[in-house]
Structure 1
Amino acid sequence: MENRKIKWGIVGLGNIARQFASDLLLIENAELTAVASRDFSKAEQFGGKFNALRMYNSYDLLFEDPEVEIVYIATPHNSHAELSIKAMENGKHVLCEKPMALSYNDAERMVEASKKHNTFFMEAFWTRFIPSVQDVLHKINNGAIGNVNYIKADFAFHGSEIENKRLFDKELGGGALFDIGVYPLFLSYIVLGNPKQILASAIKHKNNIDLQTSMILQYESAQSVLHASIVSDSDMKAVIAGTEGRIELNAPWFVADGYSLFKNEEKEAVFTLPTLGKGYSHEIIECQNCILNNQIESEFWSHQNCLDLSGIMEEVKNQIELPF
């Protein structure tokens, strides 16, 4: 495998993009080649802070930049599909922030574009690549807690309509499910796969987005009890329980710095596995390895994985009657 610098572009320069860019600086063979915002002063400020070589006031100009190899898309949810597809049509690899799309149909179009243009595409599920989650999956697959029959996971915080306008904006795909509910659904999926049945219930905002959503995923011999809220907080630990023990991921579990293993109700072992930087670094390394190996998808978070999760999201969306 060659070891050259991979040249990145970033579109959408909000809070997640800032965290991502700071992690990008930690990766030796990564270069921030270009950033784009419709507000050029924002592009200048962001680019200056993170040593970008070029700043653009248009996403199209970044997609047309011949030096940019892979684009990280961190715009609001409602634009993910169109921007990802446009980037791939321009021959760019794409890492698209989750959720990859607001509909399963759009998710399918994104994967089709990757195959058609022979470009790498991945949904930016950073949690899949952090050391603690990698290690937990390895333990579960090796039978450390027997057969998994119960998962409890939530993601909840108290958002303010004034400070977190995007979260409450129906046009931008706001609400609990698409912003944070995707995380507990993801955990259930990577451990247990596609459920046989989904039960979902939500409390809605006056504009019809979900403020909080609870979900039960039913499997052959397991259940996952999951919750997402933008109007209340929780301890944000995750529990994965099996016939021979349980694992508790440290809070906040989606970027856990370790976990505990319990047997017979006793804490048997504690594992500490900190992330590099904020934790986005691990998915960045995966993207770069795939590009250097000429892969259009990751074996750890494949096109099919992305589509499966999007399908689960679609079912919950339909049950709680979201307007997207």
Structure 2
Amino acid sequence: MKQTPIRFAAIGLNHGHIYGQVNLLLRAGAELTAFYAKEPDLAAEFAAKYPQAKQAGSEEELLEDETLQMIVTAGIPCERASLAVRAMQHGKDVMSDKPGCTSFEQLAELRRVQAETGRIFSICFSERFENRATVQAGELVKSGAIGRVVQTIGMGPHQIRLNTRPNWFFRKAQYGGILTDIASHQVDQFLFFTGSTQAEVVSSQVANYKFPQYPELEDFGDIMLRGNGGTGYIRVDWYTPDGLGTWGDGRLTILGTEGYIELRKYADIAGRSGGDHLFLVDQKGTRYIDCQNVHLPYGERLIDDMLNRTDTAMPQAHCFLATELALQAETRASRLGNLS
């Protein structure tokens, strides 16, 4: 007997990541039935992309719809936690864009409501879940290809494209800071690849070196982490030049006791075209692995978790710990450059 598909709706379309979130669920067999956005331009764009989805008149209409099992959101970062809490209280699982929240108070409420309701709160860390080279690296590490992982070095440079950014992008109270926001990807990968279930922020710093006209924008940040499975260094920035040809030269180095893996996720500068490049160095030699055909399992695992109330796509404790560490790094960061 064929399983009835998971039905989901999108609320909050403020970041373009919503399209990746929706698409990964559609690939996994879920059914997009409705959406809501208070911004007419964002709603029109989404409706054109997904004509099968009905436009709702309010958030409440979708939260109260008992035929929906999941809400996905890429709203303004500071508004995501409140929506997720209400969705879980209405019996729905949630997939949020990163960051899932922007304050410790929001994180505490998410933890409390998730524990009370037993619903799933998942953050779509797309730089791991939706990058084929990173998925392949996970399989190699699991197989012992580089021995015990002792450190990760994650680089998350981004292209700023100022003329495309909405006002909230420049307001720290709304976007949360560069470490809360984009560095959460690298924190997630540090925990995953080192197998750390406990960790602390050793040091962190943020700066505004290039854009003094936007005093609340942080355009550079880095973090040092120490976990019970290894250590990590993270650097993120908004300096990627237009000449690269893609939005960022994201890289990850995974150091093991018997070798290392380097990922060039979106570009191999002056080398191979496209993305998803993986380089493996072990005791036998150096190998390049093209990952363009690697399967992306996050969406399927998340739906399976929803159906069976399991915890396989991303353990709930991992989701909250990655968020907590990013918030701690942001809160404790030394402030450099044009930041006071």
TM-score, normalising length: structure 2: 0.81
Return closer, same or farther for 1:150/1:24 CA change in 2, 3 Å cut-off: closer
Corresponding residue for 1:34? 34
Return closer, same or farther for 1:221/1:35 CA change in 2, 3 Å cut-off: closer
Q: Report which stretch shifted further, 261-270 or 192-201.
A: 261-270
Q: Report which stretch shifted further, 62-71 or 111-120.
A: 111-120
Q: CA deviation at 1:57?
A: 3.5
Indicate the SS of the match to 1:85.
helix
Q: CA deviation at 1:50?
A: 0.8
Q: CA deviation at 1:55?
A: 0.6
**Does the 8 Å contact 2:179/2:327 carry over to 1?**
no
Q: CA deviation at 1:109?
A: 1.7
Corresponding residue for 2:245? none
Corresponding residue for 2:262? 248
Corresponding residue for 1:259? 278
Indicate the SS of the match to 2:314.
coil
Corresponding residue for 2:190? 188
The letter for the 2-side match of 1:124 is C
Question: CA–CA distance in 2 between the matches of 1:120 and 1:222?
Answer: 28
Corresponding residue for 1:198? 202
**Does the 8 Å contact 2:120/2:316 carry over to 1?**
no
Question: CA–CA distance in 2 between the matches of 1:248 and 1:117?
Answer: 40
The letter for the 2-side match of 1:93 is D
Return closer, same or farther for 1:311/1:272 CA change in 2, 3 Å cut-off: same
Indicate the SS of the match to 2:102.
coil
Corresponding residue for 1:84? 84
CA RMSD of aligned residues (A): 3.0
Among 284, 287, 305, the alignment partner of 1:290 is 305
Indicate the SS of the match to 1:182.
helix
Q: How does 1:78-157 map to 2 (within 5 A)?
A: 78-130=78-130, 131-157=132-158
Identity of aligned residues (%): 19
Return closer, same or farther for 1:299/1:30 CA change in 2, 3 Å cut-off: closer
**Does the 8 Å contact 1:44/1:55 carry over to 2?**
no
Indicate the SS of the match to 1:210.
coil
Q: CA deviation at 1:127?
A: 4.1
Corresponding residue for 1:163? 164
Corresponding residue for 1:314? 327
Q: CA deviation at 1:48?
A: 4.1
Question: CA–CA distance in 1 between the matches of 2:129 and 2:304?
Answer: 13
Q: CA deviation at 1:94?
A: 1.0
**Does the 8 Å contact 1:2/1:292 carry over to 2?**
no
Question: CA–CA distance in 2 between the matches of 1:69 and 1:47?
Answer: 21
**Structure 1 runs not aligned, ≥5 long:** none
**Does the 8 Å contact 1:156/1:229 carry over to 2?**
yes
Question: CA–CA distance in 1 between the matches of 2:331 and 2:44?
Answer: 41
**Does the 8 Å contact 1:202/1:210 carry over to 2?**
yes
Q: CA deviation at 1:309?
A: 0.9
The letter for the 1-side match of 2:20 is Q
TM-score, normalising length: structure 1: 0.85
Q: CA deviation at 1:275?
A: 5.6
Q: CA deviation at 1:164?
A: 1.8
**Structure 2 runs not aligned, ≥5 long:** 242-247, 268-273
